[in-house]
Structure formats: structure tokens, C-alpha cells
Amino acid sequence: MEATFVLYPNMTALDFVGPFEVLGSVPVVTARFVAASLEPVKSDNGLVVVPTDTFSAVKSTDIIVVPGSGHWRELLKDSGGVVEWLREVHPTTKWTTSVCTGSTLLAEAGLVSKATTHWAARSDLSDRGVEVSEDRVVFDGKVVTGAGVSAGIDMALRLVEAEFGEMVAQAVQVGIEYDPQPPRSYDSIPPEVAAGLKAAFESRQA
């Protein structure tokens, strides 16, 4: 089974690295990394990843994983070909997935009706006619979305369970020593911390 990870400038590294570690732990899964070109792609915190394929070369795949970005509103204005590629390839997939604000790209492509995302991007999903969930992982037919950043690991484990069974998912989880815990909510932290965090995210969209 082939899993294709979408790369683009200013993506969040853990959004695809987490699912890659989970899916890559299943021996029958092979990975591809697709981008607009074969030039190295830099994440929002500086990690550089080299694509294996271009959008024009990949016409079908079993699984798509779309990472998010702290600059998601800028990306929605110009996705660099991501949205167009998703529309083209989605009909061929068994699973189309996203992590964090990657769900806004699925929404922009018109591929999802119910989804989760990072708390800072919920309004952007809603504005695109998507039913927004605060759940950690949401299945909407063959579209699976994970909430913010680290939720990509949870999303991928749920995907492994759906595709390969509970025992395989448990083996992967123990293999990577991951113990899922409910995340802190935005409303549970001190107001001054929340205000600073919100301001930091908003500044990225300026």
C-alpha cells in the first residue's frame, strides 16, 4: 500500500513526520513525498525535506497525508498547486487524510463535509461550509482529519486500525512508545497565556 505525503513551503514538520512514523511502521506501506518540484522543501521551523515525486508525476495513490501550516490563510490564497492536485488525485485514493490546518486545504478543494483542525483554524473550516468538530480524529467517509499537530499520530494510528486491524495498530503504538492522552484545550490555560498564543498565531497570518 502506498502512502503519499504532501510537501509545501512552511508546512509543519510534525504534521507529516508523525503519520510517517506510524504508517512507516507497517511493512506493507511504502512512502512517497510529493511536491510542486523536486527542490528541497523547508518547513515552517526550518526542517528541509527532499521530495521523491512531483504533483505532475503522481496521478493516483492509496493514501494521501496533507500536513498543515502555521501560515494556513496565506496558503489558502495560493496553495502552490496543492489544492488542484488534491482534487485530481482524491478520486483514486482509499484514504485522504490531513493533520492540523491541512484540513483547510481539503475544504478548499471541496473534499470534506465534516472535519477537525487546529483550534486556531476552526473558523476557516466553517467559512468553507464544513461541519467543524473538536474531536481529536474525525472520519468523514474515506476522508480522515486530525486536530492540531501531534494529533497526526492519533490520526495515523486510527487509520492503521481501520485498514489493518486493532492488533496491528496496538503493535505500532507500543513500538513507537506512544500513549495518547486528551490534549489540553485552549480554554483550559491561563487567560494571559491564551491571549499570547492567539496573538502569535494571528501574527503569522498578517
Over the stretch 61-85, which tens digit does the pLDDT of each residue have?
A: 999 999 999 999 999 999 999 999 9
Please report the pLDDT score of residue 193 as a whole number.
78
Ordered domains of the chain (ranges, CATH):
2-181 (3.40.50.880)
Long-range pairs for 70-73 at CB < 8 Å and ≥24 separation? 70/10, 70/12, 70/44, 70/101, 70/201, 70/204, 71/10, 71/44, 71/204, 71/205, 72/101, 72/104, 72/105, 72/121, 72/124, 72/205, 73/124, 73/205
| Residue 194 pLDDT level (bands cut at 50, 70, 90) | confident
In the chain, the percentage of residues whose pLDDT exceeds 90 is 86
Q: Which residues pair with 80 in a beta bridge?
A: none
Exactly one of 100, 112, 137, 160 is catalytic; name it. 100
Please report the pLDDT score of residue 148 as a whole number.
92
In the chain, the percentage of residues whose pLDDT exceeds 70 is 97
Question: Which residues lie closer than 8 Å to 183 by C-beta, 6 or more apart?
Answer: 136, 147, 148, 150, 151
Which has more pLDDT, 44 or 193?
44
Please report the pLDDT score of residue 112 as a whole number.
98
| DSSP-H helix ranges across the chain | 13-24, 72-77, 82-89, 102-108, 122-127, 151-164, 166-175, 191-204
- Enter the pTM of the model: 0.91
Query: Distance between alpha carbon 22 and the CA centroid of its chain, in Å?
Result: 13
Known catalytic membership, residue 100: yes
Secondary structure percentages of the chain, helix, strand, coil, to 5: 45, 20, 35
Q: Convert the pLDDT of each residue in 89-111 to its tens digit.
A: 999 999 999 999 999 999 999 99
